[in-house]
Copies of this chain bind each other. A is one copy, B any other.
Amino acid sequence: MQAEVPQAKGNTGLVGGAISAITAHIRDGELSPGDKLPSESVFARDLAVSRTVVREAFRSLAAMRLIEVSTGKRATVAKLDHTAISPLIEHGVSTEQISILQVYDVRRTIETRTATLAALHRTGAQSREIAALAETMQNSFLDPAAMMEADIGFHLAIARAAKNPIYPLIVGAFEGVTRQTWPVGWKSRSSESEQHHMLDIHSDLASAIAAGNPEQAAELMALHFDASVRALLAAGIS
């Protein structure tokens, strides 16, 4: 029968109401990241519910990364955190609702744009950070784990340099999945020349961004993802 869905999920019950009240408090109070929220007891009294209900609401908001909680201290409004969406994507992949290739299609789309924007907007310090990470990759030829971490940091640094906080959010969403699949792609680049070629693309990309060449940066990023997809396909990943 599919009855009406009055207001999206999460608003049902006292906990949902508390969540709405707390988000309204943040919005209407025009609070900024770091600002403190009233204590659980205060909300419980104001909303006339038990502290249990408020606690579950706080936990929910903390899980969504809207607030931060910690022992003894009052909860604070959260700063955007690039790891916020990662659990959702990992869940999608682990339950086979999302394939690895689908992840790479989105990454290619998004990161071609971050490369463009990074070339346009990066600061000097960001150029150096990106170049340093590319170099760390080159120097980690015998330590794939270290190379992977540098690679992840490299892509995230480019997203940050795009000067739009949504991009790190999206790039970060795929971090968990990347940690699980990166070694597969690396191993499937069987010849040393293939492996060096991948490292060189990273270095060239760092240079294009440092040089402020958005077209070249975008093209290199696209090439990088095309090669990655080929490597994953070669490894039998679908």
- Chain B contacts of A170 at CB under 8 A? 106, 170
- Chain B contacts of A56 at CB under 8 A? 55-56, 59
A10 — nearest CB in chain B belongs to which residue?
B63
A95 & B32 in contact (Cβ 8 Å cutoff): yes
- A238 at the binding interface (Cβ < 8 Å): no
- Chain B contacts of A8 at CB under 8 A? 83
In Å, the complex CA distance between A70 and B215 comes to 50
- A31 at the binding interface (Cβ < 8 Å): yes
Within 8 A of B (CB), among A1-33: 8-10, 13, 15, 23, 26-27, 31-33
A88 to chain B, nearest CB (A): 6
In Å, the complex CA distance between A117 and B33 comes to 37
CB-defined interface of A182-215 with B at 8 Å, one 1/0 digit per residue? 0000000000000000000000000000000000
Within 8 A of B (CB), among A29-82: 31-33, 52, 55-56, 59-66, 68, 71, 77-81
- Chain B contacts of A63 at CB under 8 A? 10, 59-61, 63-64
Residue in B66, B87, B110, B113 whose beta carbon sits within 8 Å of that of A91 in the complex: B66
- A234 at the binding interface (Cβ < 8 Å): no
- Chain B contacts of A15 at CB under 8 A? 59
